[in-house]
């Protein structure tokens, strides 16, 4: 038998950085994870320290690699929180903190774009709508608000990119300045049909093209890391935004296949193949990761998913751990008519209401801790259902099977309620590191390593079948719709 070969995946998320090493069967054999600080300078603003992110990346890579022979790691892949941007000097020094995808500081600028009539142009080229969620206005804000940044950008002294680009640059000692199609597609600057940075959009946002990286397919040889990172130069052969990586990791490479990842937010992607489906229900058209090229996908993003459970734990002090939420929710038979709308940073798809704010309604004298905890978990399912129903309407096909992964997918109560409220079969992956697996599979493909031979059905952990009467489902969804209408900014109170 030959020597076992491994693939290392670096999964840089919103609240933590993970490194996962997969063997030839696609099984995770080592994992290391480190959290980093969340920075909130003002209400609605969210930042990260890029240097801390890089430090956690180096730390977890070394920690995970210590469990195997480093010389047996054939290649690595990177997957990352999308839309979050960094602007840095050529020596790798950031000029400002990373502005996170959740940050709403540019909401007014995006409203101005909408009022100025730019929505259709932006959507036709990028598949996106003007929203503070995406990268373009974040980059512009940094250039406009950091002393000397715009002048340096115009003279070619700065680089800008999403987190994958920053990590590639730093891990390679400045030799790699690149990104992939899936990350570029989330910037609001990239033409997803022509697959290039768009001159008209760059002019609109006043962003020099020289500030931005080269763009390649997700499965591609990007270059090698510095020897000091793991004791040897390691080929980087896969890069994808976290949600596209999860879609690929779940094996959703065929048209009509859908996955849902439960992280800080909730993200649904439906592979639409060569067809760029135009949404009339608040979804985005984007690019998916693939062995070659980049098929299209429909995407719906819920801003607050797992973050709602963190809110229960950290701010409300109603639970001691995320795992406890399931037990508390099951301690009551229902939420007692209570609805929680966790629109802490506005509402994403299909509403796109940046002015919406969180709401708890339906409280009575008998409402207790368990009802609020249960209603918060149910809110994650309701928001997911909103997006799935929008996808069904846009694609014109029933989506009756949803593959799920991510931290909150381990919550059996939430998964069963999701099946009940959508009427769809919920298929949970046995591999909880599906996002990392996707990055690893892309790296394996591009590196030529013959790994990950297990079939997608071999990775199924559990299937949750719907078990709710249609009348109950309709009543519950009606109550949710009413709660959302109260939380929205355009609703007269």
List phi, psi (to 5°) of 278: -85, 125
**C-alpha distance from residue 377 to each of 236, 340, 359 (Å):** 38, 9, 14
The pLDDT assigned to 449 comes to: 66
**For residue 1, what are the CA distances in angstroms to 4, 5, 9, 68, 69?**
9, 12, 25, 17, 17
| Residues found in the chain | 493
Cite the DSSP H helix spans in 346-469: 369-395, 412-422, 434-447
pTM score of the predicted model: 0.85
What is the b/e burial string over 285-311, where b = at least 16 CB atoms within 10 angstroms of the residue's CB?
bbbbbbeeebbbbbbbbbbbbbbbbbb
User: Rounded CA gap, 75 and 234, in Å?
Assistant: 6
Residues of the chain where predicted confidence (pLDDT) is lower than 50: 1, 454-455, 491-493
Cα-based distances in Å from 226 to 169, 172, 233, 342 = 10, 5, 5, 43
Compute the distance between CA of residue 440 and CA of residue 218 in angstroms, rounded to an integer: 11
447 vs 341: CA distance, rounded Å: 45
- Residues 484 and 452 sit within 8 Å (Cβ to Cβ): no
Q: What is the pLDDT of residue 424?
A: 93
Nearest residue to 435 via CA among 304, 289, 254, 275: 289
Residue 121 CA to residue 191 CA, distance in Å, equals: 11
For residue 144, give Cα distances in angstroms to 137, 204, 476: 10, 14, 46
Supply the pLDDT for residue 349.
84
Predicted local distance difference test score (pLDDT) of residue 450 = 57
CA distance 409 to 399: 19
């Amino acid at each position: 038998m030959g020597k076992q070969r491994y693939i290392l995946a670096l999964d840089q998320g919103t609240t933590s950085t993970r490194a996962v090493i997969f063997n030839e069967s696609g099984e995770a054999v080592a994992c290391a994870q480190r959290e980093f600080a969340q920075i909130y300078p003002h209400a609605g603003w969210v930042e990260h320290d890029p240097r801390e992110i890089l430090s956690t990346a180096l730390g977890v890579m070394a920690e995970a690699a210590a469990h195997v022979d480093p010389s047996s790691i054939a290649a690595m892949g990177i997957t990352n929180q999308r839309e979050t941007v960094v602007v840095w000097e050529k020596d790798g020094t950031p000029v400002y903190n990373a502005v996170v995808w959740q940050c709403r500081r540019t909401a007014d600028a995006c409203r101005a774009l909408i009022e100025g009539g730019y929505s259709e142009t932006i959507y036709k080229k990028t598949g996106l709508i003007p929203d503070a969620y995406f990268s373009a206005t974040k980059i512009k804000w940094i250039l406009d608000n950091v002393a000397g940044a715009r002048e340096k950008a115009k003279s070619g002294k700065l680089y800008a990119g999403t987190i994958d680009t920053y990590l590639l640059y730093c891990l390679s000692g400045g030799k790699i300045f690149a990104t992939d199609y899936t990350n570029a597609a989330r910037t609001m600057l990239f033409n997803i049909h022509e697959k290039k940075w768009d001159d008209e959009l760059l002019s609109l946002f006043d962003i020099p093209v020289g500030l931005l990286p080269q763009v390649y397919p997700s499965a591609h040889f990007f270059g090698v890391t510095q020897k000091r990172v793991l004791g040897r130069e390691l080929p980087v052969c896969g890069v994808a935004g976290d949600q596209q990586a999860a879609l690929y990791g779940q094996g959703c490479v065929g048209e009509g296949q859908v996955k849902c990842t439960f992280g800080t937010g909730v993200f649904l992607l439906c592979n639409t193949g060569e067809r760029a489906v135009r949404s009339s229900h608040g979804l985005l058209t984007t690019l998916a990761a693939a062995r070659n090229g980049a098929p299209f996908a429909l995407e719906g993003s819920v801003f607050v998913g797992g973050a709602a459970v963190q809110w229960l734990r950290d701010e409300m002090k109603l639970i001691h751990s995320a795992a406890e939420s399931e037990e508390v929710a099951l301690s009551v038979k229902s939420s007692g008519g209570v609805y929680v709308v966790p629109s802490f940073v506005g509402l994403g798809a299909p509403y796109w209401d940046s002015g919406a704010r969180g709401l708890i309604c339906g409280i009575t004298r008998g409402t207790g801790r368990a009802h609020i905890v249960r209603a918060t978990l149910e809110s994650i399912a309701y928001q997911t259902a909103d997006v799935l129903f929008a996808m069904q309407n846009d694609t014109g096909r029933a989506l009756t099977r949803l593959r799920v992964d991510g931290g909150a997918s381990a919550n059996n109560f939430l998964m069963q309620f999701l099946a009940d409220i959508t009427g769809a079969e919920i298929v949970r992956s046995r591999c909880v590191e599906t996002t990392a697996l996707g990055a690893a599979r892309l790296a394996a493909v591009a590196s030529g390593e013959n790994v990950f031979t297990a079939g997608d059905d071999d990775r199924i952990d559990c299937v949750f079948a719907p078990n709710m009467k249609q009348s109950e489902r309709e009543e519950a969804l009606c109550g949710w719709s009413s709660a959302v209408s109260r939380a929205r900014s355009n609703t007269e109170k």
